[in-house]
Chains A and B, each alone.
Chain A
Amino acid sequence: MESLKKVSGKPELLLSTQHSLCPGCGEPLALRTILELVTELELRDRTICVCGIGCYTAFPGIIDVDVLQALHGRAPSVATGAKRVLPDRFVFTLQGDGDMVSEGLQEIVHSAARGEKFTAVLLNNGVFGETGGHMTTTSVLGQRTKTTMATGRVAEQHGWPIRIADVIAQLDGSVYVARGGMHTPAAIAWTKRILREAFQVQLAGTGFSFVEILTMCPTDWYVDATETPDWIERNFTPTYPLRILKSP
């Protein structure tokens, strides 16, 4: 066995591999990527995660960093209070698209405009996963959800999706804005790179940093888990291309 080298394992900051999210979900992959970076950057002892409300709200109980649980939509405001009173701590928010872009649009936009020095992470799967697959602001045109079942999302009826990363990038208070995804090994590696850059912006204290991560939701997209990478490439990346929208 000595010849075997461990190349992968449970992140040390994950206290349990038991979580209640669906097989094939992209959110645990995003969490893993974030926790690996917190360890690699030696931030565990000064990290405060501000967690929104969604499927990922199952995570705080199994991660070994301090957590402030926020209400739906309000994580950027809670993170503002935390980072302003403890400016030397490393503060990041975790929100889904329903949480951030539907309910909490005001909070995220103003926090970015104020140049708050925390990192906001958006886990974007284009549905309200926890409630069972309803349309959010970021559902793409044509997307079938529980509330757009017959027609898919139709612009005339349901409006257009908001590309929040593009909105944030337009604001003078944002310093770093990028979009990644969890659907392929290459996308995960890319996302780890942009998360690292975002975290480094926070550590440098120069302004607001923002990372959007496209995550798979086989349950509420009504596709087999193995088909979700293709689904993202066909349906999501045309609206939400993986790229750095703004960097110092």
Chain B
Amino acid sequence: MTRVLMEGSHAVAEAAIQAGCRFYAGYPITPSTEILEYMSYRMPQVGGVCMNAESEIEAINMVWGAAGCGVRAMIASTGQGISLMQEALAEMANAELPCVVVNMKRGQGDYFQATRGGGHGDYRHLVLAPHTVQEAVDLVQLGFHLADRWRNPVDVLGDFVLSHTSEAVAFRPLDERDLPPKTWAATGARGRPAHNVTPLGAPEKLRLNPGSHFAAIAAKLPRIAAAEKRCETGFLDDAEVAVVAFGSPARFVKYAVHVCRERGMRVGWIRPITLWPFPDETVAAAAAGLRAVAVFEQNAGQMIDDVRLAVLGRVPIVEIGGISHDHSGFGVGPALEPEHIIARITDVYRGQAAA
């Protein structure tokens, strides 16, 4: 299969095109801007639409319109811009509108925003966290599939590192023949009764019934959680300590664990690929025989809550990451230095780090 060298942001954009995305709306914000730049010339080549919107709020509501017409649509921003979109991102889940939301975060402080939902009401987004450019390509394509399958927005969490790293990638189309046609979309009611695509739920006997609709949305969430948990693990067979990490920092952690192994420490790693649903059974099973679980994340401690919920106090859990930025605030800081991570893991391994 042909591989091409692409910057992460461009690869993510091209993956969307290859997945049949034909509508993109964006508002410039570092480090997601290159996706908008790429889409601005690539979309017209495939007969799609790219909107250089006047605000994040306008952009996400344009995506709402395109998605409501049954067209695959994507938006990208970073945490601040995603914050501005939250009203729509919450209500799109209620309206059961599929779309892919890429957050090229600054660090990893947006874990709660993505996994808990930054908006109002009872909803979740599926959240996918790639750690390489190839995985980002694959997860964007999977994201469109899952969005359509579950009729729910899917978030792809990248970051500054992923957005600006160039790697050789291959675009592998998914077999999507099992997806049902979008018979619910608003397309003009030719030869059929009218559709009302609304976050309040389609009318029943000409009356809206939001309560029963919200209950149906809530009932969908456990089904998604049961079907879609994804996780990657390494070196767990004889491990005494495991490090949990997601996204780009997980790549640094994998390297650090490798070095620790070379230095004789029985250490493994756990990398959640879906952050919601969180792969709690995998984490719990992996933790069962360990002396400690270390959590490396580039924030003040967010995913560690999900690790604690998975482990339920059976094993000590140690935070070994932290907020780490350079002067730009874009989330690339000294905590990502491999020797720093190795030292933190070593401390946990030797029992010198407090849980």
Query: Residues of A at under 8 Å CB distance from B?
Result: 15-16, 18, 44-48, 50, 60-71, 74, 77-86, 89-90, 106-107, 110
Contacts and interface: CB of A to CB of B under 8 A. Distances in A.
Interface residues of B, number: 44
B224 interface: no
B182 interface: no
B65 to A, nearest CB: 3
Nearest to A61: B203
Q: Which 9 A-B pairs have the closest CB atoms?
A: A81-B65, A69-B198, A77-B61, A61-B203, A46-B188, A78-B65, A81-B66, A81-B62, A45-B190
A84 B50 CA distance: 9
Given A48-B186, A62-B203, A106-B55, 6 more contacts: A50-B65, A67-B195, A69-B199, A74-B88, A81-B73, A89-B188
A80 B87 CA distance: 18
Contacts of A71: 61, 87-88, 91, 199
Contact of A80 (B62, B190, B196): B62
B186 A107 contact: no
Interface string B45-64: 00001010111011101111
A45 B68 CA distance: 17
Nearest to A18: B206
B61 A85 contact: no
Given A67-B198, A68-B186, A106-B54, A81 B69 contact: yes
Contacts of B196: 60-61, 66-67, 69
A45 B186 CA distance: 11
Contacts of A44: 189
Contacts, number: 140
B172 to A, nearest CB: 26
Interface of B: 22-23, 25, 49, 51, 53-55, 57-59, 61-69, 71, 73, 87-88, 91, 95, 186-191, 193-200, 203, 206-208
B64 A70 contact: yes
Contacts of B68: 68, 78, 81-82
A127 B196 CA distance: 26
Contact of A63 (B63, B91, B194, B207): B194
Given A82-B65, A84-B23, A85-B22, A66 B194 contact: yes
A115 B327 CA distance: 41
B87 A67 contact: no
Given A66-B194, A71-B87, A81 B63 contact: yes
A47 B188 contact: yes
Nearest to B66: A81
Contacts of A45: 188-191
B23 A85 contact: yes
Contact of A81 (B64, B91, B190, B208): B64
Nearest to A64: B194
A81 B197 CA distance: 14
B64 A74 contact: yes
B25 A66 contact: no
Nearest to A68: B68
